[in-house]
Structure 1
Amino acid sequence: MYDPTRLAALVAVSEAGSITRAAERLGYTVPALSQQLAKLEREAGTALLVRHHRGARLTGAGELLVGHARRVLDEMERARHELARFAGLSGGRLRVGTFQTAGIHLLPPVLTAFRRAHPEVELTVTDHEPPSGVAAVAAGEIDLALTHTYEPADPVPLPSAVSAEPVLVEELVLVTQPGHTLTSGTSRLPPAELAGQPLISMAPDHPPRHAVERALARAGATPSVVVGTPGYVLVCALVSAGLGVAVVPEMVARTASTPVGMRLLDPGDLRRTISVVYRAEESNAAADSFRALLRGAFERSASTN
């Protein structure tokens, strides 16, 4: 059975004329979309696309499958719409909070899927740098929020009305200027190798990272530049310019807008967990549907990284 997500990817490429434009339309990275298309070709047992310097075109088999895919996706969208009406999602609103990394790299495909399934629900997306999203959910200002915690970390209890559902766990990795000796190897790097290295630090203004910063200090990393905001884009830019090294979530390293070297750390116990927080005691069909879509999207992201 063909995965509907991969069928939608093939349809998007056929309409956009290139994998790059299709990825932009769907909110995926180009490598992630290419992997989905490769899996679909393996399922089909034949080439579906021919790539050329101006983009990509469908093979005869691809044209055949796209015709069926459009009918399948149309039927699925009709079913979602009818089920939304049945579940009381023919109107209303959903207020979503997110932080920057998830908002840029993970949330767009979920928003697209939710809009397709529930076109009459009003969507609002606001920026909430963790842990502020948790407080906003507890106060009823938003319906759910993407947030994160770090390991190691000082325990921070959730408000009694709020529940958290982990959706993605990723390691923290070392990033350096391209060509740096610390990221030239392929094996995991012991943190002790960071002794004496100038560190781009996000302490003291990023509470979730306090314990991580202390662990790096125990390993001997010396704060060189202190970034007063939790902006990983800026951190990676400073690293790329050679002002120091940093330890960031793997997703941040792989999607950095400036060139950086990357290396896994040993034993990989520095982590970030991305969760969705919501008010568990309230019945909210729109929030429940959105959380289900989130689970599927984050599972796909984890499988393609």
Structure 2
Amino acid sequence: MFDSTRLAGLVAVAEAGSITRAAARLGYTAPALSQQLAKLEREAGAELLVRTHRGARLTAAGEVLVAHARRALDEMDRARLELSQLRGLSGGRLRIGTFTTAGIHLLPPVLTAFRREHPEVELRVAEYEPPAGVAAVAAGDADLALTHVYEGGPDPAPPPGVTVEPLLVEDLVLVTSPGHALAAAPGPMRWAELAGQPLVSSAPDYPNRQAMEAALRAAGVRPVVVCETPAYVTVCALVSAGLGMGLVPRMMAESSVVPLGVRALAAPGIHRTIALASRGDDTSPGVRTLRALLLGTYRRPATTPGAALTPPGRPRPPTEG
């Protein structure tokens, strides 16, 4: 019997074309995922992947197993959803915490699907600037909360009794005014190119500002922040107007209502992990079902790089949580 977690890892590598990218999407380290794949190859009795300097590709045996793995994982998704529906959720209230980007891009399709199946459950959504959502769950002010952690920024341990599960990893990109030479330059942007450039960013105590400054310092570049604002939507508006340039999550850049120049950052770049916080002892049907929907919708690897950040029109049934 094949382990479903290892099968999901193989499917992730097949879709991402790289163990490193697949591990990031699944919330693992690359060595941990490599160990799981090695165990799967031993279970299968065949080599499933060929590692190259550009990534990884499936062998003939790997192609066969991935085809079956996709069907098996989909069947497990459907089983979980049908079991949650048998619980017959009716009445009650769910309090969901979120930060702005997730509230705009990630929550709506999931809550729509949940409401369609359980119209009697009252939903309440409140905004918390991370990590305040985790504290709200710990205090009992929220049943679930979407939060995030930036690479290079503070990563506090969750309070006792709170579980934080990664959903997806999102990269930050450079945004400039339309037609700016820095956005039009070929290839990903190196940090040295920001030397002397005016930046629009959040206050110094915000994790995204700290992550940006850490990356710039490592490259020997002194940041020149000319305007501070906590909201990415405001960053985009000010950047579009020509006040400076900024670093924002790809979701914000791709959905901006103002025109922008956009350019990817050279590796390793800056990333943030979007995660779901819940109380480990909360076994209420509503919390379990919504948690499964969120994990199943956004933890499943996408078919193309970056597509995991594009919310689907209707959430997939829950996958492994």
TM-score by length of structure 1 reads 0.68
Residue aligning to 2:308:
302
Alignment of 1:137-148 (within 5 A): 137-148=137-148
Q: CA deviation at 1:296?
A: 3.3
Equivalence for 1:126: 126
Q: Is the 8 A contact 1:236 1:256 kept in 2?
A: yes
Cα drift, residue 223 of structure 1:
2.6
Corresponding residue of 1:199? 199
Q: Larger relative contact order (C-alpha < 8 A, sep ≥ 6)?
A: 2
The Cα shift of 1:114 comes to 0.5
CA shift for structure 1 position 225 = 2.5
Residue in 1 aligned with 2:289?
Answer: 289
Cα separation, partners in 2 of 1:218 and 1:80, compared to 1, 3 Å: closer
* Contact 2:251-2:309 at 8 Å conserved across structures: no
Aligned to 1:248: 248
Amino acid at match of 1:222: P
The RMSD of aligned alpha carbons is: 2.3
Deviations 1:152-211 (A, max 9, x none): 123311101111111110111111111111111341111111111111121224245423
Q: Deviations over 1:86-118 (max 9, x none)?
A: 425222111101111111112111110000111
CA distance, structure 2, for counterparts of residue 222 and residue 208 of structure 1: 13
Comparing 168-177 and 282-291, the one that deviates more:
282-291
| Structure 1 residues without counterparts, runs of 5 or longer | 1-78
1:149 aligns with 2:172: no
- Cα–Cα, structure 1 residues 82 and 283, in superposed 2: closer, same or farther, change >3 Å? closer
1:302, CA displacement in angstroms?
0.6
| Partner secondary structure for residue 243 of structure 2 | coil
Please tell me the residue identity of whatever aligns with 1:116: R
Alignment partners' CA distance in 2, 1:271 and 1:265: 10
The gaps in structure 2 that reach 5 residues or longer are 1-79, 312-321
Maintained 8 Å contact 1:109/1:297: no
User: Does the 8 Å CA contact 2:175/2:262 hold for their aligned counterparts?
Assistant: yes
- What is the 5 A alignment of 1:35-114? 84=85, 86-87=86-87, 89-114=89-114
Residue 48 of structure 2 is matched in structure 1 by: none
Question: Identical aligned pairs, as a percentage?
Answer: 54
Matches of 2:197 and 2:83, distance apart in 1: 58
Q: Matches of 1:83 and 1:130 in 2, distance apart?
A: 29
Cα distance in 1, alignment partners of residues 218 and 240 from structure 2: 24
Map of 1:135 onto structure 2:
135
Q: What secondary structure does 1:91 align onto?
A: coil
Change in 2 beyond 3 A, CA 1:224/1:302? same
What code does the residue aligned with 1:247 have? L
How many pairs does the alignment contain? 225
